[in-house]
Amino acid sequence: MQPQFRPLTPADLDAMVMLEQSAHAHPWSPALLADAFGERYFTGALWHQNALLGYFIADRVLDESTLMNICVAPAHQGRGLGRQLLENYFAQCRTLGLGWLWLEVRASNRAALSLYASAGFEESGRRRNYYPTADGHEDAVLMQKRL
């Protein structure tokens, strides 16, 4: 059985928190994840049976969207789920009439940078020393795409 897409709901918060904590060295807090259910946000998630495999959180303002978070379960990384989530994000953006897409990513996250570049995102700037690391800080790479 193939994974299925559906939006996240507040009832999925516990599964989101568990996935976020397992996949990121500096995960979003439960409170920050809970905020993703506000009016200006939209989400997509891949599920296999009752297991959350990955999700994205995005916001929208006027005709723009920022991909705020994308997360894939560590056991399922490298299998194209991140690309599927990104394609679902693009489809939702088209439906919503959003033209400009934005994101930021850790400069050290080569896999994500490669994925985003292959999907048409281009670097538009950097935020110096933005993300915390175990031994200091690293840059955020700002990327944009015209849909």
Catalytic position from the list 20, 55, 89, 104? 104
Residue 116 annotated as catalytic? yes
Token pair belonging to 14: 């516990």
Strand order in the sheet with 41-48: 4-6, 41-48, 51-61, 64-72, 100-106, 136-146, 122-133
User: One of 55, 89, 116, 131 is an active-site residue; which one?
Assistant: 116
Looking up tokens 């200006």 gives 40
Token digits of residue 16: 């989101």
Catalytic residue list contains 55: no
Enumerate the active-site residues. Answer: 104, 116
